[in-house]
Structure formats: C-alpha cells, structure tokens
Structure 1
Amino acid sequence: MEFVERYNGSGLLIEVEKILYEFKGVQHIQIFQTKSFGKMLVLDGKIQLTEKDESFYHEMLVHPAMLMHENPEKVLVIGGGDGGAVREVLKHDPKEVVMVEIDENVVKACKEYIGIDRGALEDPRVKVLFEDGLEFVKSCKDKFDVIIVDGTDPNPISQALISSEFYRDCAKICDYFVTQSQSPFAQPDYFKSIYKNARFKNKAVYLGFVPTYPHGLWSYLIASDRREIVLDLNVIKERFENRKIETVYYTPEVHISAFALPRWIVNLIS
C-alpha cells in the first residue's frame, strides 16, 4: 500500500504497511505504520510527522527561540497536538507550559498510537487546553516568555493562525514568537503571506531540512516587538550547554547557520 502527498504537480510517495488509526472529525486524522519512516501522522492528507524525522522539525521550531531567551520560564504552544514541541520545550526546564490545541482527537490518537511526546503532555508543568488558538490569544491576559506556533498547512481550521490579527495579538503577550512558515520552494505563496502578515518590529526567517515535508526544505519565522533577534554563537552555546539539552538535529552552529538565507529566498521577502 502507498500513501502519496501531492503538491503543485509533484509529490512524495511513502510505502505503508498498515493503517493504525483513522477518524474524521474536526480534521481527517490518519496514523500509518510505514516501511521506512516508522509511524506517520497525516491530517487532511498532509504529512505532519514521521518518527524518523520529527525531531528535525520540532528541534528547529523550538530551540532557536528558547535559547535566544535568557530564562524562558513560561511558554505557550499553539497547536502541537502530537506533543513533540512540548517535549522539546521541557528540555529548557520552564516553570509553566500552556498548550492550546483545537482538536482533542489529535492529542488522544498521538498519545495512544505514536507517543513522541514521551510523557511530556502528562508533565505537571504542562496545561493542555482544547480551544481555538486565535480566540485564546485574543482574550489572553497572561504574558509569556516564548510563544511557539506548531500549526498545520493553512486550511479552514488553521488559516486564522497566519492572519495579521493573530500575529498582532501574540506580539502583545510575549518576548519571542516563533512559527513554522511552510516551504518557500513548494509553497511560496503561503510563505510570503506568513512573512507579510507577521508585522513585528523585529523578525527573521530561518531554514531547516525535514525530508518528509514538501521537497525537504522548511522554514520558520522568529519575531518580537520587545526583543532584538540576536545571533551570538557564544551565548547560544553557553545556554545550550548549561541547560544540558540533548538533540538529534539541532546544534548551536546549525542555529546560527540556519539564518543565512539563499538569495532567492531573500528576494521572495524583499
């Protein structure tokens, strides 16, 4: 059996051994056992993660912003129902993590059939809320050191999470904000929309490699209305070592180099 994700006249084919779980609710959730990539989560036909390379994505989403902050004690994760982002956040030993996920079924299915959170969602420092991220941020009175948006490809459920309104509300309540920003190669329109709508005083794009995402090249946007986007290797290395963080993909050197953009991407956002 084969699973194919298609995008713009191309696609990725993955050999599947069996379907472990399927449910249609807020989203169409599928969990597969694949031949080469371990378990795989698919939402509305789009690959969200495979066991083999999910750390490539989650580490690059989480650690740059967390390490730019000198003491990230309170963190908000929007989306991230598989628990991978929260797992990485906890490596920084924060005092409180709030995860806001719109689809409770994603959390339940991932806990039962995949388990990449490795118990993170049961940690007493973690509060999981099942509600709309846009509405949560709009009415939120709390302040966070870091906000991390781990959303799906823009669709009727997640489209609001790339709106200028959402970014404006996030900017009011955090020191650093980071979101995945799609593939600039396979999804340039989405990428440009995210960059344009994120009207923070300071913002920067950085890149990572995730083999099972469209064409492998993935992007992230870090931003702040309160802080500079400072890239100091010595500072990042010191914080990384002091926090005793273990990773598969991320290193402080990868962190710094990820912000060096190819000319064609600079041109997309100029």
Structure 2
Amino acid sequence: MGYNEQERAFIEWYPRGYGVGFKVRERLFETQTKYQRLEIYETEGFGKLLVLDGTVQLVEVGEESYHEVLVHPVMLAHPNPRRVLVIGGGDGGTLREVLKHGTVEKATMVEIDDGVVEASYIYLDVAKDLLDRLLKGEEPRAELIIGDGVKYLRESDERFDVIIVDSTDPVGPAKLLFSEEFYRSAYEKLNEKGLYITQAGSVYLFTNELLDAYRAMKRVFDRVYYFSFPVIGYASPWSFLVGVKGDIDFRKVDTRRAEKLGLYYYDPERHETLFQMPKYVRDLLERA
C-alpha cells in the first residue's frame, strides 16, 4: 500500500487484493501528525491527492462526487436545517457544501487533527477560502473546533438538525464513530426532527462493516436508510447510512431548494436512484 517510486503511482490496496491507484507526478508533502500519517501528491489527471494512513481521502478533480452526496440528500430531506454539526471533514469540502444552504444559521465543524486542516489549506484547492475564514474566525455562519468529535458530541449542550460524520473508513481508529454508543450520543443531540449521515465504506469490500454499522444504527434511530454512490478515488460503489429522528421521510427531498446549489454529481430530481444496491447486499441488510 502506498507510493511506488518506480511506477510513480500511489495505490491503495483493499481486502482481497483489490486496489485503487493514481499516476503521480510528485509527492508534495508528507508528515506524521499527532494522529496519522499525512501525504499529499500531485496526480497526472485528478489534481492533488490527500492520503491519511495510506488511504485515499480525496482527489481535487471529482471530490464533489463524495461531498455532494454526503451533504445534500440529508439537507434537502430536512424541512428546515438551521443548525448543522460536521464531525471530521478537515479538508473543508463537507462544510463548504453545507453552507450552500441558505437555511443554515450555524454550522460547527469538529476536526481532531489540525494537521489535516493546515495541509488542506496550504495545498488543496477544495475549500481554501472557507478554511482561511474559519482559521481567522471570520466566517459568520460557521466555526471550527479542533477536538475529539466523540467527546464533543457527548459533552456538548448544543442541539442540531443535521449531524454529518465525514470520517475515515469504518475500520481501525475510526471504529468508535460507528459504535452504538456514539449513535446514541448523536440521537440525543438531534432536535425533535433530525437527520444523521455517515459514510460506511465500500459496498463490496467492507460489507461486514456496513452491516455492523447498520445493525447498530437500527438499535438507536427511529428509521435507518442505506444508499450507495460511485465516488471518484474510492472502491465504489461507496455506501452511506442515514439515521432519522422524528417523522422525516428521507426518500423525499425538496427539489426547489436544490435549484440554486449548482450541483454536479448528486441529482435531487433522481434522488430515488441513490437507493439502488446490489441484490445480495440488500438482502443481507434487510436480514440484519
């Protein structure tokens, strides 16, 4: 796993010998932060690549295929999302999409690793202007907190309409973010009507992790939905899980509010296509 100098390529290897790779022009930056190994590469055709502990987080060209789908389905399904919490997402892409919604009065991003924020601000053209305002405390509708999202959610007195978890894969250090205990904290911090969303890994290669997270969420939320989307740079299709508190129907979104968002990948007019899932995976989920 990782950068191959001879081949000038970065390859992320998944279980069973499956890999996702990019041809690389040069390695721009590498460091060991307090929490993880961080690398940034210039690719041949997809702009800059952000890697954490050997796993692809995003490439600049196509990053919206992840950020749009993580944010807008829940934001458009909620009748009036005014207060939003983002856990993780230090590159700023998720918060950037959240703030496209005029209903948002306050958005809070809690990122544990300030090294990710700093490197994203310096090297990535994802949300540079937004990160600049956040770091200066000049973004009127959002704030950045450097800290543990699990601890923040457990201890905060805030209540939210939407909680978005933009974390690394549901294995290793991020596993706590996919635990029943964490889901209960999130449920308690949602308002009477609220939505929670998390990415849940590769449909084909992290199926067991998806099933585990789905089972845990079903024990907590009033309803749980699953869907998938092809994300550039990931072992797609990539899965997402949505937890509902209250009487929100996640299968319906407000397409009128979507008209001014300028979306490129997620199509609210075809929202129902998100719910396509390979039959055997759907069968496993329905039996979970």
**Aligned twin of 2:4:** none
Kept in 2: contact 1:223–1:229 (CA 8 A): no
**Aligned twin of 2:254:** 236
Cα distance in 2, alignment partners of residues 90 and 29 from structure 1: 27
Letter in 2 for 1:183: S
Cα distance in 2, alignment partners of residues 230 and 224 from structure 1: 8
Structure 2 gap ranges (5+): 1-7, 134-138
**Aligned twin of 2:9:** 2
Letter in 2 for 1:51: E
Kept in 2: contact 1:87–1:118 (CA 8 A): no
**Aligned twin of 1:127:** 143
**Aligned twin of 1:79:** 88
TM-score relative to the length of structure 2:
0.88
Give the one of 12, 16, 24 matched to 1:16.
Answer: 24
1:39: Cα distance to partner?
Answer: 0.4
TM-score relative to the length of structure 1:
0.94
**Aligned twin of 2:238:** 218
Cα distance in 1, alignment partners of residues 237 and 171 from structure 2: 20
Cα distance in 2, alignment partners of residues 208 and 163 from structure 1: 23
1:236: Cα distance to partner?
Answer: 2.2
Cα distance in 1, alignment partners of residues 37 and 247 from structure 2: 38
Letter in 2 for 1:195: Y
Cα distance in 2, alignment partners of residues 105 and 264 from structure 1: 40
Kept in 1: contact 2:207–2:281 (CA 8 A): no
Letter in 1 for 2:241: L
What is the RMSD computed on CA atoms of the aligned residues? 1.4
Kindly tell me the number of residue pairs found equivalent between the two proteins: 265
SS of match in other structure, 1:158: helix
Cα distance in 1, alignment partners of residues 237 and 37 from structure 2: 25
Cα distance in 1, alignment partners of residues 61 and 270 from structure 2: 19
1:142: Cα distance to partner?
Answer: 1.0
Letter in 2 for 1:192: L
1:226: Cα distance to partner?
Answer: 1.9
Identity, in percent, stands at 39
Kept in 2: contact 1:58–1:84 (CA 8 A): yes
**Aligned twin of 1:185:** 204
Letter in 2 for 1:128: L
Structure 1 gap ranges (5+): none
Deviates more, 1:102-111 or 1:185-194: 185-194
Kept in 2: contact 1:204–1:229 (CA 8 A): no
1:155: Cα distance to partner?
Answer: 4.5
Cα distance in 2, alignment partners of residues 265 and 86 from structure 1: 30
Give the one of 15, 30, 34 matched to 2:39.
Answer: 30
SS of match in other structure, 2:173: coil
Deviates more, 1:123-132 or 1:33-42: 123-132
